[in-house]
């Protein structure tokens, strides 16, 4: 039988994205491009295992917010913040199963731009988010930040979280997202990474050291 996509080459494998059998070439060329590959596809998982990590030099410097410095001390001191934000991203992605890495990165980038302007000028200006998926991520992040401040206020009597801290944390996550996504239009590599760090049935709050080792260490 012929491939369900090209209709020329012999089919070699079952593709859950088209619910039919396709050839290996179409699988490789169309994976996460025209095919919305489910995370459990064994061919997708196998491809990810052999994929070379993407270097930061491959990306537009402006997209990485290189003017924002993230010292190692910040990663140590703000482990709970990074953990909480990462959990918020995972929760947002679960709320919308059609979400791709590009949606998540776009939402994070918009938040980074807003906080960068807030830190530099004191002006709060929300970036326009183009779709519901991006709005979902932004909503989860802002809700987590509100909860974080409330917890600090309850236990310490004040919140030490500065807008510059939020900016650094968001930029850290943007850079990590670019490094972990395949870059293809329908990639969910970064979303799947977050889902693996925060399983759905796991408690929302994880010990800071454990969460930091999950997120900060590659």
Considering the domain architecture, whether residues 61 and 166 belong to the same structural domain is answered as yes
Considering the domain architecture, whether residues 34 and 120 belong to the same structural domain is answered as no
Considering the domain architecture, whether residues 190 and 212 belong to the same structural domain is answered as yes
Statement: residue 206 has pLDDT above 50 = no
Considering the domain architecture, whether residues 81 and 60 belong to the same structural domain is answered as yes
pLDDT at 53: 77
Q: Which percentage of the chain shows pLDDT scores above 90? A: 65
Angle at 192 between CA 191 and CA 198, to 5 degrees: 90
Cβ partners under 8 Å of residue 21, min gap 6: 1, 3, 4, 11, 12, 13, 14, 15
Considering the domain architecture, whether residues 94 and 5 belong to the same structural domain is answered as no
How much is the pTM?
A: 0.85
Statement: residue 211 has pLDDT above 50 = no
Considering the domain architecture, whether residues 29 and 61 belong to the same structural domain is answered as no
Statement: residue 56 has pLDDT above 80 = no
Considering the domain architecture, whether residues 3 and 41 belong to the same structural domain is answered as yes
Considering the domain architecture, whether residues 100 and 4 belong to the same structural domain is answered as no
SS (H, E, C) 144-205: HHHHHHHHHHHHHCCCCCCHHHHHHHHHHHHHHHHHHCCCCCCCCHHHHHHHHHCCCCCCCC
Considering the domain architecture, whether residues 4 and 84 belong to the same structural domain is answered as no
pLDDT at 2: 93
pLDDT at 201: 65
192 and 39 in contact (C-beta within 8 Å)?
yes
pLDDT at 151: 87
Per the structure, the count of domains in the chain is 2
pLDDT at 210: 43
Q: What is the mean pLDDT of residues 13-41?
A: 96
Considering the domain architecture, whether residues 91 and 192 belong to the same structural domain is answered as yes
When mean pLDDT is compared across 53-57, 113-117, 140-144, 214-218, the lowest value belongs to 214-218
pLDDT at 203: 44
Q: Which domain holds residue 44?
A: 1-51
Q: What is the mean pLDDT of residues 142-149?
A: 91
pLDDT at 126: 66
Q: How far apart are CA 100 and CA 96, in angstroms?
A: 9
What single-letter DSSP state applies at residue 8? S
CA dihedral 92, 82, 127, 163 (to 10 degrees): 140
Task: Using the 3D structure, point to which of 51, 76, 92 is the last residue of a domain.
Answer: 51
Whole-angstrom CA distances from 17 to 29, 35, 186 are 14, 6, 12
Task: Using the 3D structure, point to which of 33, 51, 69 is the last residue of a domain.
Answer: 51
Over residues 78-131, the pLDDT tens digits come to 999 999 999 999 999 998 888 999 999 999 999 999 999 999 887 766 666 778
Over residues 19-30, the pLDDT tens digits come to 999 999 999 999
Considering the domain architecture, whether residues 83 and 146 belong to the same structural domain is answered as yes
Q: What is the mean pLDDT of residues 11-16?
A: 95
Over residues 158-194, the pLDDT tens digits come to 888 999 999 999 999 999 999 999 989 999 999 999 9
- List phi, psi (to 5°) of 162: -95, 155
Considering the domain architecture, whether residues 64 and 26 belong to the same structural domain is answered as no
Statement: residue 205 has pLDDT above 50 = no
């Amino acid at each position: 039988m012929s491939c369900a996509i090209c209709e020329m080459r012999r089919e070699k494998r079952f593709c859950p994205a088209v619910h039919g059998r396709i050839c290996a070439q179409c699988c490789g060329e169309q994976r996460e491009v025209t095919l919305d590959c489910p995370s459990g596809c064994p061919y997708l998982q196998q491809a990810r295992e052999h994929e070379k990590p993407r270097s930061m030099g491959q990306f537009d410097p402006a997209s990485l917010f290189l003017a924002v410095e993230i010292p190692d001390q910040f990663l140590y001191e703000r482990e709970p913040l990074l953990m909480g934000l990462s959990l918020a991203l995972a929760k947002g992605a679960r709320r919308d199963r059609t979400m791709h890495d590009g949606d998540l990165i776009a939402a994070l980038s918009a938040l980074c731009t807003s906080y960068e302007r807030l830190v530099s000028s004191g002006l709060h200006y929300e970036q326009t988010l183009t779709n519901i998926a991006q709005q979902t991520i932004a909503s989860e992040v802002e809700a987590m930040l509100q909860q974080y401040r409330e917890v600090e206020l309850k236990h310490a009597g004040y919140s030490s979280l500065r807008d510059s801290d939020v900016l650094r944390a968001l930029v850290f996550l943007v850079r990590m997202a670019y490094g972990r996504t395949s870059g293809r239009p329908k990639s969910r590599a970064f979303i799947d990474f977050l889902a693996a760090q925060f399983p759905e049935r796991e408690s929302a709050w994880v010990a800071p050291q454990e969460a930091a080792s999950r997120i900060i260490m590659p």
